[in-house]
Structure 1
């Protein structure tokens, strides 16, 4: 019977690059809002994106101060200090969440919250089909960290005629989306003028985050779930999936693809 031979680390020609993940705590006015496992880079973008896509804040004006604290082996803390009005509103809906990398809905307090009503996104601008056809290839090319280690998801912001930029990577696909949304918010870009591009399948939490951020188009390399399609339909969000090799399928609201 054949046996598996393990190569001692000292004999390996080159160590395989492995992705990192650390606990990231997000607090608002001293109260914990979430503890998520995430890749330890672009933490500022992740924190801003998470608070935006989860409806904790609706914009930069509601944040008075922000900083991060590195706790070493214990993880990273991203601290927001909100305006008094926003802090009071948040206290009414406060929840604590602990989420692993594979899920974006862990820690919610009710079944209704898992399928919460979404805002209908603005009409948004049209994007040429040729841009959509190249989007996931451009995203893959821009994944600089994945060139050194596999296992990272990516999200990018597609702007008509300008391609996919503002690319962010993470071990969690919803984290990667939060990072790119945070980068768009911090840069003062208009989320309604472009599309989110993902290197993963589309679950309902990714549709929820995209719609909450006000981006009208979501493009993904893999398939959507049935719940994701239903949520996109209800939110008037254009959902494009199976986008690879120059081809794609439009599942909801195709009017924005020209």
Structure 2
């Protein structure tokens, strides 16, 4: 892993650490910046294994969330379990050659099924109290040093994974520590955003035989298109105006709308 990649991973983790919104945290982490650097510096091609690597990324966060939140493991031990799950998954993927289209279709189908299950589960789940996403005991300079050293170590581990180094959770190992109080919600948002990562890899795959720069440009364009399709409806919902249930001066006011009547002209 180059020093540029280490600095980039450090910047991503630092950005996640200062953001309050878990949705923004998941979106920043889903940006394919580490993937881009891995493709540029290693020269690996994007094939079916790399598409399934997105599934491995989700497996990493699910493993960390289950071991830390359900089994009450310390976050660093849960991180190691997540890395072990990703490495084991990668070994199985690399053992069998997979056609790109088959891996792409299977990953998209698995994503759609996951979104359906998460939506049904969220519909019946009680509303939870928001947590302070930025509460921790480390001073900013100490946190920066820890993030930098951790990014370097995870980068060295990723070098052992051959083609699966493209999707190795370089920053994810440290992002899981920063988002440890929101791991379940973070994992759900990242699972939704991961379809855009599949789009990025597909764009790179279909143009990688023409020009590396053109392939990366196509990948980023596909990522932006899929991300916009995933988030624009939500942006429209956020722009909807809702009146608070407060008392106004006079008249009957509901919590969601104000009724205006045209004055009648009397004779």
TM-score by length of 1: 0.27
Higher relative contact order (CA 8 A, sep 6+): 2
Structure in which a larger fraction of residues adopt helix: 2
Higher strand fraction: Structure 1 or Structure 2? 1
Whichever of the two has the greater Rg, that structure is 2
